[in-house]
Chain A
Amino acid sequence: MSELITPGNLSHLHLLLNHFPTVGLIVAFALLVVSILSDSEAMKHDTMRPTALGVLFAIAVLTLPVFTTGLAAEGAIEKLPGVSKAAMDSHEDSALLAFVVLEFAGASAWFGLWRWRRTRRIPPALTILTFVLSAVSLGLMTVAASLGGDIRHPEILADPGTAGAKSMFSMSAAGVAFFVNGRGHQWVWPTLESAHFVGMTLWFGVLLLANLRLMGWFRAIPYPSLHRLLPWALLGFGVNEVSGMMFYIATPKGYTTNVVFYWKLIFLLLAATDLLYLTVWPQAWKTDVGTPTHVRERVIGAAALCTFVAVMYCGRMLPFLGNSF
């Protein structure tokens, strides 16, 4: 796969994937709004609202590769004539804030789904929180997308003099990089690495037991009781996403040109899919004491465990395989 990791291809991938947090987010948001406005109990509790939350969670996950291919795209075009570094930086900073808010919206949507699986109801407070966070992230994504368009399409600017102007709705990537790598901050990187390992161990432990149960081990444990542990897996993913993104923003070139990093991203998307599966899958929820499990659940569980080990393997091997650091 390493021959595919060219700046041009990654740039192309960024342009393809960026439809998830823009067009995709509009679709998820519209589904959520319709489910809120609808009088139908079925749409509120059985069909449309859980679907909206699931799509929102998926988009929050898919936005991870959108952000990470963005810095690769920067490397591909930064030397081209007419491309302004300032325009790329203001796009990146507005995209970073939009990304952070969207991740919180995704976490809130996940909690809604988690409660829904247990009670068949999504608590109104979670619906409102998800609505607000996704509305804010949609607004911020619009700003980020608009600033991204300006990079290669200055003709769409009303006033060419505003090219590269900072948006007030942004989070400074340079500030994050300074915090991680700046002078006198030598303690930050090792501390974040330690937190990254703590988070990994937490999500792996919880998801290991849940998957082993669905593979037919620990049969005396009813699956719904293990479902209660899943928020701790999400917490572990959250710790790792924050620490991982800080590494990435501080030293993007160590990752954007390393094929192992892209393998890790692919396995990470699969691991997030497994979390969604463990959260909502009806057959999993019906797995009671002594219930044997279907061969389908066993295959999914075994594949998921291999995926988790692959995420760890690619992360641990980043400095040794490929060319980073």
Chain B
Amino acid sequence: MELLTALYNSALSTWIREAETVWAFPTILTVHTFGMMLLVGCAWVMDLRLLGVGRTIPIGPMRPLFRIMWFAFWINFASGILLFIADPQRKAASMLFWSKMALIIINLPLIRRLERAVYRNTPEPTVVSGGVRRLAAASAALWAGTIFTGRLLGYM
């Protein structure tokens, strides 16, 4: 708790929270939103295809979407840490915040497993196994939960 208070009183935290400039809190929040739409947008397109929407789309060439997702994840990891630094005590005391973290921590290895499972046998898969479909559905649902908990954090 003392650590969180020290963090709250740090120059960086104060600047993000209180600076009278659009480049502080508003811009960090917007970057976080940009990362979200890139990460979850690509994830949902991949999941939709694996769940059987647009069966004529070849799955092999969609693989770079996973790289875009990881790129966007690191944007949000960094911007998310800055948002936490701006308001550490309330975030750390919030069930919503820890629910959001839990959803992400479950989802990240799921995405790793999903990519491996899809491309395990061939770089040009044509059939999607039941296991892959379940992984895709679970990951898509976890992203929806992450968006809800994250968005509700703004109203706690």
Chain A residues packing against B (C-beta within 8 Å): 189-190, 193-194, 197-198, 200-202, 204-206, 208-209, 217-222, 224-226, 228-229, 232, 309, 312-313, 316-317, 320-321
- Summed over the interface, the residue pairs from A and B with CB atoms below 8 Å come to a total of 100
Identity of the chain A residue whose Cβ is nearest the Cβ of B151 in the assembled complex: A194
Q: A226-B54, A316-B29 are contacts. A205–B42 as well, Cβ < 8 Å?
A: yes
Q: Is the interface of B mostly helix, strand, loop or mixed?
A: helix
**A-B residue pairs in contact (CB < 8 Å), sample of 19:** A189-B155, A190-B152, A190-B155, A194-B147, A194-B148, A194-B151, A201-B41, A204-B38, A209-B65, A218-B61, A220-B58, A222-B58, A225-B57, A226-B54, A226-B57, A228-B56, A229-B57, A321-B22, A321-B26
- CB B118 to nearest CB in A, in angstroms, measures 15
User: Which residues of chain A have C-beta atoms less than 8 A from B36's C-beta?
Assistant: 197, 201
- CB B33 to nearest CB in A, in angstroms, measures 5
User: Which residues of chain B have C-beta atoms less than 8 A from A200's C-beta?
Assistant: 37
Q: A220-B60, A226-B57 are contacts. A193–B42 as well, Cβ < 8 Å?
A: no
Indicate which residue in B40, B41, B58 contacts A221 across the interface (CB closer than 8 Å).
B58
- CB B140 to nearest CB in A, in angstroms, measures 10
User: Which residues of chain B have C-beta atoms less than 8 A from A201's C-beta?
Assistant: 36-37, 40-41, 44, 143, 147
Do A218 and B62 touch across chains, with their CB atoms under 8 A apart?
Answer: yes
Q: Does B48 contact A (CB under 8 A)?
A: yes
How many angstroms from the CA of A313 to the CA of B26 in the assembled complex? 10
Indicate which residue in B30, B43, B152 contacts A316 across the interface (CB closer than 8 Å).
B30
